Amino acid sequence: MSERNTAETVETVFRIESARIIAGVTRVVRDVGIAEEIAQDAVVAALEQWPESGVPDKPGAWLMAAAKRRAIDLVRRRETYARKLAEVGRSLAETPPADDPADADDIDDDVLRLIFTTCHPVLSTEARVALTLRLLGGLTTREIARAFLAAEPTVAQRIVRAKRTLAKADVAFEVPYGAERGERLASVLEVVYLVFNEGYSATAGDDLLRPALCEDALRLARVLAGLMPEEPEVHGLAALLEFQASRAGARTGVDGEPVLLADQNRTKWNRMLINRGFASLQRAGRGPYSLQAAIAACHAKAVHYEDTDWPMIASLYTRLLDVQPSPVVALNRAVALSKAEGPAAALKLVDELSDVPALRDYHLLPSVRADLLESLDRRTEARAEFEKAASLTANTRERDLLLGRAARAASGEPPGPASERP
């Protein structure tokens, strides 16, 4: 194998195994920043040794063992870590050889601890997302910056500050229990959901989708579901992301333009992901992610757009509004009601949301209002609302779609399908 191929292999293996390696090292050194540096040292060692010795049979185990040896050496060298040295000394005898990785359950427990650490509430939401993608998703700083259209130095500083904050706050490397676990789990699920949403409908830029972010979030959701099988909301989130991801291939046209839900070719929906979604939904509960997954399941069941069970979806949104009262949920419920009961009743609900500060700059509010006005043949008002919605989005594809709909409303052409999120 050439040196270049070996380097690509090292990169691929580390991308797959980085979360487990960093988690395993963090258990030794109790600091995610130091753990990441040690893991990178192991990668350097692989780049130096594998071209000559060949890629080991279990490359992930090799990297894990190399990183743990460095972690143990570090702890040994530090006099201030005398107590930890004693702990590590006791565990050293139990450390498995390089070609025999530690017990899978222990590693998975470490990954779970790492997820709860990177999503600790002591960090801002932006910092949680960046650190989670870096340590658990294996993304580089440049990749994270590109994904969120942020400057690379900004993201780098954000990650550095996040590590310092965790160290300064002396955040324990553990999975919390009781009420704290519920609070922290909510934070974990929120981060995974945010990552997926940014990939599913990019806030800004020239592309509607960022598939890599969706894949990373879906992978994290599956990992969580495997590690925490007793948590219904984890399965609810996993089901939701499976269903949403199943439609990704149909959400854009050949030139990357958005394709609205009503116009999507449902034969392009990924049936394997849909089946995985239904399997996860069976283990879900009654929380907000589970209810959103149930709504997504209604769409997945409909062979044709006209088959959609809108009364059921409206009912599910009503339940969702009870457990997660938010203006965005209320807006989505209004859309469902417009399908079930007609646009006039829904328009009244949407108008009531117009003064909600949280929706002041939310482009989907005027977009939905425009749909309803167009359905009621109030085209001049609809055009103005489509143009307002276009002015509020930073995504080029969405803006083009909305301006096109504004022009169509002005031309007198028949109304198109309402703009449920594609």
- Note the pLDDT tens digit of each residue in 342-355: 999 899 999 999 98
- Tell me the one-letter amino acid at 316: L
- Residue 57: which domain range? 3-93
| 175 within a domain of the structure (yes/no) | no
Q: How many residues does the chain have?
A: 422
| Cβ neighbour number for residue 348 with a 10 Å cutoff | 12
413 pLDDT more than 50: yes
- pLDDT the model gives residue 264: 94
| 343 within a domain of the structure (yes/no) | no
Q: Determine contact, residues 122/171, Cβ cutoff 8 Å.
A: yes
- pLDDT the model gives residue 421: 53
| 265 within a domain of the structure (yes/no) | yes
Average pLDDT on 390-402 reads: 91
C-alpha dihedral sign at 342, 343, 348, 349: positive
Give the C-alpha distances (Å, rounded to integers) separating 294 from 256, 275, 333.
Answer: 28, 13, 14
Give the C-alpha separation, 131 to 162, whole Å: 7
Give the pLDDT confidence of 212-262 residue by residue, as tens digits.
788 888 988 998 898 889 999 999 999 999 999 999 999 999 888 889 999
Give the pLDDT confidence of 363-375 residue by residue, as tens digits.
999 999 999 999 9
The residues, ordered by sequence, that sit 6+ positions from 192 with a Cβ below 8 Å of its Cβ are 132, 217, 220, 221, 224, 237, 241
Residue 340's nearest CA partner among 304, 374, 365, 316 is 316
| 82 within a domain of the structure (yes/no) | yes
The residues, ordered by sequence, that sit 6+ positions from 349 with a Cβ below 8 Å of its Cβ are 330, 333, 334, 337
Which of residues 283 and 174 earns the better pLDDT score? 283
φ/ψ (deg, to 5) at 223: -60, -45
- pLDDT the model gives residue 235: 97
Among the three residues 301, 336, 370, which one is the final residue of a domain in this structure? 301
The total of structural domains in the chain comes to 2
100 pLDDT more than 50: no
Average pLDDT on 164-181 reads: 86
Which bin fits 416, alpha (ψ -120 to 50), beta or left (φ > 0)? beta
Average pLDDT on 17-46 reads: 90
Structure letter (DSSP) for residue 378: -
107 pLDDT more than 80: no
Give the C-alpha separation, 11 to 17, whole Å: 10
- pLDDT the model gives residue 19: 86
Residue found under tokens 């590109």: 146
The angle subtended at Cα 192 by Cα 186 and Cα 197, nearest 5°, is: 120
C-alpha dihedral sign at 359, 360, 365, 367: negative
Give the C-alpha separation, 210 to 213, whole Å: 6
Residue found under tokens 């930890």: 84
- pLDDT the model gives residue 365: 95
The two three-digit tokens of residue 112, written as one number: 């779970």
| 328 within a domain of the structure (yes/no) | no
Confidence of residue 80 (pLDDT cuts 50, 70, 90): low
Residue 26's nearest CA partner among 84, 71, 83 is 71
3-state secondary structure of 394: strand
Average pLDDT on 94-114 reads: 60
Among the three residues 301, 326, 344, which one is the final residue of a domain in this structure? 301
Output the 3-class SS for 50-93: HHHHCCCCCHHHHHHHHHHHHHHHHHHHCHHHHHHHHHHHHHHC
Q: Determine whether 95 is exposed, middle or buried from the number of CB atoms within 10 Å of its CB (0-12, 13-18, 19+).
A: middle
Among the three residues 301, 332, 364, which one is the final residue of a domain in this structure? 301
Which of residues 418 and 182 earns the better pLDDT score? 182
Please provide the average confidence, as pLDDT, over all residues in the chain: 86
| 231 within a domain of the structure (yes/no) | yes
| 239 within a domain of the structure (yes/no) | yes
Output the 3-class SS for 99-168: CCCCCHHHHHHHHHHHHHHHCCCCCCHHHHHHHHHHHCCCCCHHHHHHHCCCCHHHHHHHHHHHHHHHHH
| 285 within a domain of the structure (yes/no) | yes
The two three-digit tokens of residue 380, written as one number: 């001049």
- pLDDT the model gives residue 415: 60
What is the number of alpha carbons within 13 Å of residue 85 lying toward its C-beta? Answer: 10
Q: pTM of whole model > 0.75? A: yes
User: Of 132-136, 296-300, 412-416, where does the model show the most confidence?
Assistant: 296-300
Which of residues 218 and 82 earns the better pLDDT score? 218
Give the C-alpha separation, 28 to 247, whole Å: 42
Give the C-alpha separation, 111 to 21, whole Å: 9
Kindly provide the b/e burial profile for residues 227-259, where b requires at least 16 CB atoms within 10 angstroms of the residue's own CB.
bbeebbbbbbbbbbbbbbbbbbebbbeeeeebb
User: Of 88-102, 243-257, 310-324, 405-419, where does the model show the most confidence?
Assistant: 310-324
- pLDDT the model gives residue 419: 52
What is the CATH number for 33?
1.10.1740
Give the C-alpha distances (Å, rounded to integers) separating 20 from 63, 136, 220.
Answer: 10, 8, 12
194 pLDDT more than 90: no
- pLDDT the model gives residue 269: 96
